[in-house]
Amino acid sequence: MALAKNLGIYQNTGESGASRLVEEHAPLVKKIALHLMARLPASVQLDDLMQAGMIGLLEAAQRYTSAKGATFETYAGIRIRGAMVDEIRKGDWVPRSVHRNARRISQAIKAVEDRCGREAQDQEVAEELGISLDEYHSSLSDANSGRLFSLDELNESGDLPIEETEASDNPLDGITSDAFRRSLAEAIGELPEREKLVLSLYYQEELNLKEIGAVLGVSESRVSQIHSQAALRLKGRLAGWRQDSGA
Protein backbone atom coordinates (compact mmCIF):
# COMPACT_ATOMS: atom_id res chain seq x y z
CA MET A 1 0.00 0.00 0.00
CA ALA A 2 1.25 3.53 -0.81
CA LEU A 3 0.82 4.65 2.81
CA ALA A 4 2.98 1.83 4.18
CA LYS A 5 5.54 2.28 1.40
CA ASN A 6 6.03 5.96 2.15
CA LEU A 7 6.24 5.28 5.86
CA GLY A 8 8.89 2.65 5.27
CA ILE A 9 10.98 5.00 3.16
CA TYR A 10 10.81 7.67 5.80
CA GLN A 11 11.76 5.32 8.59
CA ASN A 12 14.96 4.57 6.73
CA THR A 13 16.10 8.17 6.91
CA GLY A 14 17.19 7.73 10.51
CA GLU A 15 15.15 10.65 11.87
CA SER A 16 13.68 8.64 14.71
CA GLY A 17 11.71 11.42 16.39
CA ALA A 18 9.98 12.50 13.21
CA SER A 19 9.55 8.88 12.16
CA ARG A 20 7.76 8.15 15.41
CA LEU A 21 5.42 11.07 14.85
CA VAL A 22 4.62 9.80 11.35
CA GLU A 23 3.94 6.29 12.58
CA GLU A 24 1.73 7.46 15.43
CA HIS A 25 -0.32 9.81 13.25
CA ALA A 26 -0.55 7.76 10.06
CA PRO A 27 -4.23 6.89 10.80
CA LEU A 28 -4.98 10.62 10.65
CA VAL A 29 -4.22 10.57 6.92
CA LYS A 30 -6.97 8.06 6.20
CA LYS A 31 -9.41 9.82 8.53
CA ILE A 32 -8.95 13.13 6.71
CA ALA A 33 -9.04 11.48 3.29
CA LEU A 34 -12.36 9.78 4.07
CA HIS A 35 -13.75 13.05 5.40
CA LEU A 36 -12.86 14.80 2.13
CA MET A 37 -14.05 11.93 -0.05
CA ALA A 38 -17.63 12.55 1.09
CA ARG A 39 -17.53 15.80 -0.91
CA LEU A 40 -15.59 14.70 -3.96
CA PRO A 41 -16.67 13.26 -7.30
CA ALA A 42 -16.16 9.56 -7.96
CA SER A 43 -13.19 10.33 -10.22
CA VAL A 44 -11.07 11.16 -7.17
CA GLN A 45 -9.52 8.03 -5.67
CA LEU A 46 -8.98 7.45 -1.96
CA ASP A 47 -5.48 6.08 -2.55
CA ASP A 48 -4.49 9.25 -4.40
CA LEU A 49 -5.64 11.41 -1.50
CA MET A 50 -3.86 9.22 1.02
CA GLN A 51 -0.66 9.29 -1.02
CA ALA A 52 -0.75 13.08 -1.06
CA GLY A 53 -1.75 13.21 2.59
CA MET A 54 1.18 11.06 3.61
CA ILE A 55 3.52 13.51 1.95
CA GLY A 56 1.88 16.25 4.00
CA LEU A 57 2.37 14.21 7.16
CA LEU A 58 6.04 13.62 6.36
CA GLU A 59 6.57 17.34 5.82
CA ALA A 60 4.73 18.14 9.05
CA ALA A 61 6.98 15.77 11.01
CA GLN A 62 10.07 17.38 9.52
CA ARG A 63 8.99 20.98 10.13
CA TYR A 64 7.03 20.86 13.37
CA THR A 65 8.27 22.58 16.50
CA SER A 66 6.31 23.39 19.65
CA ALA A 67 6.98 27.06 18.90
CA LYS A 68 4.31 26.86 16.20
CA GLY A 69 1.71 27.24 18.93
CA ALA A 70 -0.34 24.17 18.08
CA THR A 71 -0.25 20.48 18.91
CA PHE A 72 1.42 18.22 16.36
CA GLU A 73 -1.93 16.63 15.51
CA THR A 74 -3.46 20.03 14.74
CA TYR A 75 -0.44 21.12 12.71
CA ALA A 76 -0.21 17.79 10.89
CA GLY A 77 -3.91 17.87 10.08
CA ILE A 78 -3.46 21.23 8.38
CA ARG A 79 -0.46 20.01 6.37
CA ILE A 80 -2.23 16.77 5.40
CA ARG A 81 -5.34 18.57 4.20
CA GLY A 82 -3.22 21.09 2.36
CA ALA A 83 -1.34 18.36 0.51
CA MET A 84 -4.60 16.66 -0.45
CA VAL A 85 -6.08 19.92 -1.66
CA ASP A 86 -2.99 20.58 -3.77
CA GLU A 87 -3.40 17.15 -5.34
CA ILE A 88 -7.06 17.85 -6.09
CA ARG A 89 -6.22 21.21 -7.63
CA LYS A 90 -3.66 19.58 -9.90
CA GLY A 91 -6.41 17.28 -11.13
CA ASP A 92 -8.36 20.36 -12.29
CA TRP A 93 -11.67 18.53 -11.86
CA VAL A 94 -13.60 21.70 -11.12
CA PRO A 95 -14.71 23.57 -14.28
CA ARG A 96 -13.37 27.11 -14.66
CA SER A 97 -16.96 28.35 -14.78
CA VAL A 98 -17.49 27.15 -11.20
CA HIS A 99 -14.56 29.20 -9.92
CA ARG A 100 -15.72 32.17 -11.99
CA ASN A 101 -19.25 31.97 -10.57
CA ALA A 102 -17.91 31.60 -7.04
CA ARG A 103 -15.95 34.82 -7.42
CA ARG A 104 -19.03 36.59 -8.81
CA ILE A 105 -21.14 35.41 -5.87
CA SER A 106 -18.55 36.54 -3.34
CA GLN A 107 -18.35 39.97 -4.99
CA ALA A 108 -22.15 40.25 -5.12
CA ILE A 109 -22.51 39.39 -1.42
CA LYS A 110 -19.93 42.04 -0.53
CA ALA A 111 -21.60 44.64 -2.76
CA VAL A 112 -24.98 44.10 -1.13
CA GLU A 113 -23.55 44.15 2.38
CA ASP A 114 -21.49 47.27 1.72
CA ARG A 115 -24.57 49.00 0.33
CA CYS A 116 -27.05 47.87 2.99
CA GLY A 117 -24.78 47.66 6.03
CA ARG A 118 -26.13 44.25 7.05
CA GLU A 119 -26.15 40.59 6.04
CA ALA A 120 -26.98 40.01 2.39
CA GLN A 121 -30.08 37.85 1.93
CA ASP A 122 -30.29 35.16 -0.75
CA GLN A 123 -32.84 37.03 -2.84
CA GLU A 124 -30.79 40.23 -2.71
CA VAL A 125 -27.65 38.44 -3.90
CA ALA A 126 -29.60 36.78 -6.72
CA GLU A 127 -30.93 40.17 -7.81
CA GLU A 128 -27.43 41.65 -7.65
CA LEU A 129 -26.27 38.87 -9.97
CA GLY A 130 -29.29 39.28 -12.23
CA ILE A 131 -30.42 35.67 -11.83
CA SER A 132 -33.33 33.86 -10.24
CA LEU A 133 -33.23 32.55 -6.67
CA ASP A 134 -33.22 28.96 -7.96
CA GLU A 135 -30.27 29.75 -10.24
CA TYR A 136 -28.44 31.34 -7.32
CA HIS A 137 -28.95 28.29 -5.12
CA SER A 138 -27.79 26.05 -7.97
CA SER A 139 -24.65 28.15 -8.34
CA LEU A 140 -24.00 27.85 -4.60
CA SER A 141 -24.24 24.06 -4.81
CA ASP A 142 -21.81 24.04 -7.74
CA ALA A 143 -19.44 26.34 -5.89
CA ASN A 144 -19.44 24.08 -2.85
CA SER A 145 -18.33 21.14 -5.00
CA GLY A 146 -15.26 23.14 -5.87
CA ARG A 147 -14.63 24.57 -2.42
CA LEU A 148 -14.33 21.53 -0.20
CA PHE A 149 -11.24 23.14 1.26
CA SER A 150 -12.91 26.47 2.02
CA LEU A 151 -12.63 26.15 5.78
CA ASP A 152 -10.77 22.92 6.26
CA GLU A 153 -7.87 24.72 7.89
CA LEU A 154 -10.05 25.57 10.89
CA ASN A 155 -8.88 23.69 13.96
CA GLU A 156 -10.80 22.90 17.09
CA SER A 157 -9.96 26.26 18.70
CA GLY A 158 -11.08 28.30 15.73
CA ASP A 159 -7.53 29.52 15.13
CA LEU A 160 -5.58 29.00 11.95
CA PRO A 161 -1.87 28.50 12.69
CA ILE A 162 -0.96 28.15 9.02
CA GLU A 163 2.27 28.98 7.25
CA GLU A 164 2.10 31.38 4.33
CA THR A 165 0.59 29.82 1.22
CA GLU A 166 0.25 30.87 -2.39
CA ALA A 167 -2.73 33.00 -3.38
CA SER A 168 -5.78 31.04 -4.45
CA ASP A 169 -9.57 31.07 -4.42
CA ASN A 170 -9.54 29.77 -0.86
CA PRO A 171 -10.88 32.60 1.35
CA LEU A 172 -8.70 31.35 4.19
CA ASP A 173 -5.42 31.07 2.28
CA GLY A 174 -2.63 33.52 2.95
CA ILE A 175 -2.96 33.44 6.72
CA THR A 176 0.29 34.96 7.91
CA SER A 177 -0.36 37.02 11.03
CA ASP A 178 -2.19 37.25 14.31
CA ALA A 179 -3.96 40.34 12.98
CA PHE A 180 -5.51 38.37 10.15
CA ARG A 181 -6.56 35.59 12.51
CA ARG A 182 -8.30 38.14 14.69
CA SER A 183 -10.05 39.61 11.67
CA LEU A 184 -11.07 36.15 10.53
CA ALA A 185 -12.44 35.25 13.96
CA GLU A 186 -14.46 38.45 13.98
CA ALA A 187 -15.79 37.76 10.48
CA ILE A 188 -16.86 34.25 11.47
CA GLY A 189 -18.51 35.61 14.59
CA GLU A 190 -20.55 38.01 12.49
CA LEU A 191 -21.89 35.35 10.12
CA PRO A 192 -25.62 34.61 10.20
CA GLU A 193 -26.41 32.13 12.97
CA ARG A 194 -27.35 29.30 10.59
CA GLU A 195 -24.10 29.65 8.67
CA LYS A 196 -22.06 29.65 11.89
CA LEU A 197 -23.91 26.54 13.05
CA VAL A 198 -23.26 24.70 9.79
CA LEU A 199 -19.55 25.50 9.96
CA SER A 200 -19.37 24.42 13.59
CA LEU A 201 -21.17 21.13 12.98
CA TYR A 202 -19.14 20.40 9.88
CA TYR A 203 -15.62 21.34 10.94
CA GLN A 204 -15.67 20.97 14.70
CA GLU A 205 -18.23 18.21 15.24
CA GLU A 206 -17.28 16.59 11.89
CA LEU A 207 -20.85 15.79 10.92
CA ASN A 208 -21.48 15.16 7.24
CA LEU A 209 -23.96 17.18 5.18
CA LYS A 210 -26.74 14.64 5.61
CA GLU A 211 -26.33 14.61 9.40
CA ILE A 212 -26.31 18.40 9.55
CA GLY A 213 -29.45 18.47 7.43
CA ALA A 214 -31.15 16.24 9.99
CA VAL A 215 -30.12 18.60 12.79
CA LEU A 216 -31.38 21.68 10.95
CA GLY A 217 -34.42 20.03 9.40
CA VAL A 218 -33.34 20.88 5.84
CA SER A 219 -32.14 18.90 2.83
CA GLU A 220 -28.54 17.87 2.28
CA SER A 221 -28.38 20.12 -0.77
CA ARG A 222 -29.54 23.10 1.29
CA VAL A 223 -26.77 22.45 3.83
CA SER A 224 -24.31 22.43 0.93
CA GLN A 225 -25.62 25.81 -0.19
CA ILE A 226 -25.38 27.28 3.31
CA HIS A 227 -21.81 26.00 3.67
CA SER A 228 -20.81 27.51 0.34
CA GLN A 229 -22.48 30.82 1.07
CA ALA A 230 -20.68 31.08 4.42
CA ALA A 231 -17.30 30.56 2.74
CA LEU A 232 -18.07 33.05 -0.02
CA ARG A 233 -19.40 35.59 2.48
CA LEU A 234 -16.13 35.31 4.43
CA LYS A 235 -14.11 35.65 1.25
CA GLY A 236 -15.98 38.84 0.37
CA ARG A 237 -15.66 40.34 3.84
CA LEU A 238 -11.95 39.58 4.05
CA ALA A 239 -11.12 40.47 0.44
CA GLY A 240 -9.67 43.87 1.28
CA TRP A 241 -7.94 42.86 4.50
CA ARG A 242 -4.38 43.14 3.23
CA GLN A 243 -4.96 46.57 1.71
CA ASP A 244 -6.90 47.87 4.71
CA SER A 245 -4.32 46.59 7.20
CA GLY A 246 -1.34 47.67 5.16
CA ALA A 247 -0.17 44.05 4.99
Regarding whether 83 and 110 lie in a shared domain, the answer is no
pTM as predicted: 0.56
- Closest of 159, 161, 154 to residue 203, by C-alpha: 154
Per-residue pLDDT at 54: 93
Q: What's the rounded Cα separation, in Å, for the pair 36 and 81?
A: 9
CA 51 remoteness from chain centre: 19
Among 74, 93, 112, the domain boundary falls at: 93
Among 93, 108, 139, the domain boundary falls at: 93
Quote the domain boundaries for residue 111. Answer: 96-247
Per-residue pLDDT at 171: 46
Regarding whether 246 and 171 lie in a shared domain, the answer is yes
Using pLDDT thresholds of 50, 70 and 90, give the confidence band for residue 68: low
Per-residue pLDDT at 78: 86
Among 42, 67, 93, the domain boundary falls at: 93
Regarding whether 239 and 184 lie in a shared domain, the answer is yes
Per-residue pLDDT at 226: 92
Q: Can you give the CATH number for the domain in which 166 is found?
A: 1.20.140
Per-residue pLDDT at 197: 92
Q: What's the rounded Cα separation, in Å, for the pair 127 and 234?
A: 20
